[in-house]
Amino acid sequence: MKISTLSQLYEAKANNESIYKLRETGDAVEAKPEILVGMATCGIAAGAKKTIAALEKALKENGLTDVKVNSVGCIGSCYCEPTIQVNIPGQAPVYYGYVDEMAAGEIVKSHLVNGVVFDSKLLKIGFEKADKEKRDGKRQQRIALRNCGSVDPQNIMDYIAYRGYEALGKVLEEKDPEAVLEVIKKSGLRGRGGGGYPTGYKWHATAIQPGKEKYIICNADEGDPGAFMDRSILEGDPHSVLEAMAIGGYATGANKGFIYIRAEYPLAIERLKTAMAQAEELGLLGKNIFGSGFDFDIELRLGAGAFVCGEETALIHSAEGVRGEPTKKPPFPSVAGYKGKPTTVNNVETYANVPPIILNGADWFAGIGTEKSKGTKVFALVGKVNKVGLVEVPMGTTLREIIYDIGGGITGDKNFRAVQTGGPSGGVITVENLDTPIDYDSLKEIGSMMGSGGMIVMDESDCMVNIAKFYLGFTQEESCGKCTPCRIGTKRMYEILDKITKGEGEPEDLVKLDSLGQNIKLSALCGLGQTAPNPVLSTMKYFKEEYERHVFDHKCDTGSCKGMRVYRILEDKCIGCRACVKVCPVNCISMVQKPAHRIDQTLCTKCGACFAACKYDAIVIE
Amino acid sequence: MERSKLAKVKLPKEKLVELDAFIDSLEDKEGLLIHILHKAQEIFGYLSLEVQLYISKRLDIPAAKVFGVVSFYSYFTQEPRGKHTISMCMGTACFVKGSEQILETFCNELGVKSGETSKDGLFTIKDVRCIGACGLAPVAMIDDKVYGHLTVESVKEILDEYRKEEQNENQHSESVI
Ligand SMILES: Cc1cc2nc3c(=O)[nH]c(=O)nc-3n(C[C@H](O)[C@H](O)[C@H](O)COP(=O)(O)O)c2cc1C
Ligand code: FES
């Protein structure tokens, strides 16, 4: 089958309308009941395949042969995977979490056989779907993630039922690339990959370049450790990215697109390949799309584990098959990119926003968010927070709403300490800014940045100096080595931090860190080096006393800095079993006063082996 | 390695045929060097100097260029690896959830340092940056399979599973002989 006109697309959509109705409202009496299982990387790792097998077995045992079990992407509730959605015609959809094999059997029995919702595994979700009463009432709004968890990513008809490829069809029917540029400009969409550059203006810059050979690239390198929104979109809704790239290609005059994806995402790669093949088969990618005369192809290019390749000039070099080293801008890729031709580079989430903007209009999108940051942002909420997962909220939502209302607060009985946004390029946000509405500009003002959307929540037990050292270790290792400030500067900063966390810091180290940081920011070649000092500078600003305590008193109050720990044996608890003596690599434990042992602090290397070996809780860390 | 020695090392024929077929199927061969290296690593397990030289000849590009690319990207390895590769995530989300201790446990259990291969040749362990399953931190990937919410205990259990599987395979192949 081919879809070569908009009316053929509408026909295909009408034929599959019941899929949409059943999954969104349950308002599809003629449909058959179904169970959707979240089968993204997280879901599979949590045992979703076993859940599917258990569901199928239970359905068979209960004679429910017409209930289908379908795989979908992830709804973002990583904390309670595997998750499922039960859709019964005439009833609102119901979500369940923590569905292991046992729960799968019970849900089938209770919900599908007896028609009673299985309360103990019920999952309240926070976005506009499902029954109002079963909603968590909090402010999530899904635009980029709109289809994740609702459509089967391996079935293009599901996407079409959700208005897929309609935006592309409309754009190609109207045949007015400039109008597309205008809509995207007016919507206020800004790049979600970190920089926040207005997408419409970026497209415009490529569009006005002369020449016929142009390219459009999707940056799916997602290098920020602790962020996974792009993976989730690609695994759960790959077609939305393909469709948006074709729209962008048409608007900027490119007939060829590349998706640069990191090799660490095998499932996303597989799903993209399937999606591309299906789109080509229907004629929605390839030659003469929608009979408009517009040709558009997409190719995958694999990354190979280099963080700097997320930077657009480095990415382009890597896509060309050479070492992924960045080059100076200007020229910007819009002028001279892939093979020296005008090239547009956008992030996965940026693309995922494009089809809804075309369908619902610029004003709709511009009506969401803050004055200068429109729409929503997806955040990967991870670390010491109860409901770990993906959340999508309007720009301008406060951190308190995200962490406490949506994220369910801090784990255990600890207190909130800080959140790191912007990954290795960003900084910390502390208690005093919990109520700041977050958008691109407000985050910059407080010394952090939006970044790609990773949000690492930390509690009182996390040492800020240690975290800063962690990030510097990362950037120093990932520095491509081309420019001196980044290659050597970050190494020196790392060495100073290492010294401080070992308890050997001196007061002037803090001055050195600050001046090195400022200098690297000003002189590095690309964004990696220019932002690398941020985690240090930001923690030094907000947690000055903690740095001073490390440097002046040589103490780490959280006990995270191993080098400063003092291991001591409690003489009243020690029974003299010699377990610690046997494991000590430097032989610094001896029997002093029968039966108790003692550690010679002058020799101890703080390796912690004795602490792990003691079965009587007789060794403590001070 | 010296030139004279290199010439003598023979790469297995059927693997070369597979690599050749892949290279022949590509249009933009030079632009797809990274793709080709991924495939070669999949076929040979690692990118030895012989494999790199072979690719440079096939694509008619300097061997230095191939080596430059291989050494730039951390995903490529020039050393043989164990039967299973354990990729321990040292990304931020995993770091704040104690991945350092998990890595230490893996290393202690295997008696190696990160980046090395266990004596029995069964496991290579390396630390990687974020595999995108941060919601399940701390996370490790063994080959393509993701293991989440790792603890000191579960690490031992997982390794035991792989070891048991290996034992069964060995017994099976012995009884076949
Ligand atoms: C060191 C570094 C790493 C980056 N990593 C990524 C990344 O992983 N994903 C991404 O989309 N953008 C990344 N960027 C930003 C890109 O250079 C580029 O601005 C972005 O892909 C543009 O897309 P957007 O306008 O849609 O955000 C990175 C930038 C730097 C300096
Ligand atoms: S930080 Fe470990 S999987 Fe992302």
Return d(Cα B49, Cα A387) in angstroms, integer.
48
Predicted confidence (pLDDT) per residue in B93-135, tens digit: 999 999 998 999 999 899 999 999 999 999 999 999 888 899 8
Q: Does the residue A258 lie in any domain?
A: yes
Q: Do residues A346 and A490 share a domain? A: no
Q: Is residue A370 part of a domain?
A: no
Instruction: Tally DSSP H helices, then E strands, for chain B.
Output: 8, 4
Clarify whether residues A471 and A435 are in a common domain.
no
* Separation in Å, CA of B124 to nearest CA in chain A: 17
> For ligand 1, atom 25, which residue shows the shortest CA distance?
A191
Statement to judge: residues A503 and A422 lie in one domain: no
Secondary structure element (H or E) that encloses residue B153, with its range: helix B152-176
Residue recorded with tokens 């998990």: B102
Structure tokens at A87: 């859709």
> Do A501 and A428 share a structural domain?
no
pLDDT for res B29: 80
- Which ligand ends up closest to the CA of A220? 1
Could you identify the atom of ligand 1 that is nearest to the CA of residue A310?
A: 5
Decide if A557 is inside a domain: no
Does some domain include residue A596?
A: yes
Residues A165, A308: one domain? yes
Residue ending a domain, choose from A398, A432, A459: A459
Tokens of B141: 């990937």
Residues A416 and A356 in one domain: no
DSSP-derived secondary structure letter, A192: S
One of 1.10.10.60, 3.40.50.150, 3.40.30.10, 3.90.950.20 is the CATH number of B84-176, namely 3.40.30.10
A385 plus A358 within the same structural domain: no
Residue A604 confidence (pLDDT): 87
A475/chain B closest Cα distance in angstroms: 11
Residue A3 lies in a domain: no
State the residue range of the domain holding A111: 32-125
Which of A148-157, A162-171, A180-189, A585-594 has the least mean pLDDT? A585-594
Task: Report the candidate in A468, A473, A429, A431 with the shortest Cα–Cα distance to residue A451.
Answer: A429
User: Are A321 and A427 members of one domain?
Assistant: no
Torsion angles phi and psi, residue B126, rounded to 5: -140, 160
Q: What is the pLDDT of residues A172-209, one digit of tens each?
A: 999 999 999 999 999 999 999 988 999 999 999 999 99
A520 & A612 share domain: no
Q: What CATH number has the domain bearing residue A260? A: 3.40.50.11540
The token pair that represents A223 in the structure block: 């290098």
Same domain, yes or no, for A346 and A209?
yes
- Rounded CA-CA distance A106/A90 in Å is 22
End of a domain among A390, A424, A459? A459
Please tell me whether residues A306 and A227 are part of one structural domain.
yes
The reply to whether A138 falls in a domain is no
Residue whose CA lies nearest to ligand 1 atom number 30: A311
A447 in any annotated domain: yes
Choose the mutation target among A39, A77, A78 for the interface with B, i.e. most B CBs under 10 Å: A78
Could you tell me the two tokens for A153?
A: 């990513």
A44 CB neighbours in chain B (<8 A) are 146
Do A216 and A277 share a domain, yes or no?
A: yes
Q: Is the pLDDT of residue A122 over 70?
A: yes
For residue A264, list chain B residues with Cβ-Cβ distance below 8 A: 75, 128, 130-132
The residue among B113, B46, B44, B52 whose CA lies nearest residue B79 is: B46
Q: Is the pLDDT of residue A127 over 80?
A: no
CA distance A599 to A298: 64
Half-sphere exposure of A71 (CA within 13 A, CB side): 17
In a domain, A20, yes or no: no
Separation of CA A219 and ligand 1 centre (Å): 7
Ligand 1 atom at minimum distance from A224 CA:
8
pLDDT digits (tens, 9 = 90+) for A569-590: 988 888 888 888 888 888 889 8
Q: What is the value of ipTM here, to two decimals?
A: 0.90
Instruction: Kindly report the CATH number assigned to the domain that includes residue A577.
Output: 3.30.70.20
- Which residue of A lies nearest to B130 if distances are taken between CA atoms? A225
Q: Which ligand is nearest to the CA of A224?
A: 1
The CATH number given to whatever domain includes residue A38 is: 3.40.30.10
Count of domains forming chain A: 5
Those residues with Cβ within 8 angstroms of residue B89's Cβ, 6 or more apart along the chain or in another chain: B99, B127, B128, B129, B130, B131, B133, B137, B138, B139, B140, B141
Query: Torsions phi, psi of A428, nearest 5?
Result: -95, 150
> What CATH number has the domain bearing residue A399?
3.10.20.600
Confidence of residue B1 (pLDDT cuts 50, 70, 90): very low
Amino acid at A509: D
Locate all alpha helices (DSSP H) within A413-571, ordered by sequence. 440-445, 464-478, 484, 490-501, 507-523, 527-531, 534-542, 544-548
Mutate to test the interface with B, among A317, A323, A378 (most CBs of B within 10 A): A323
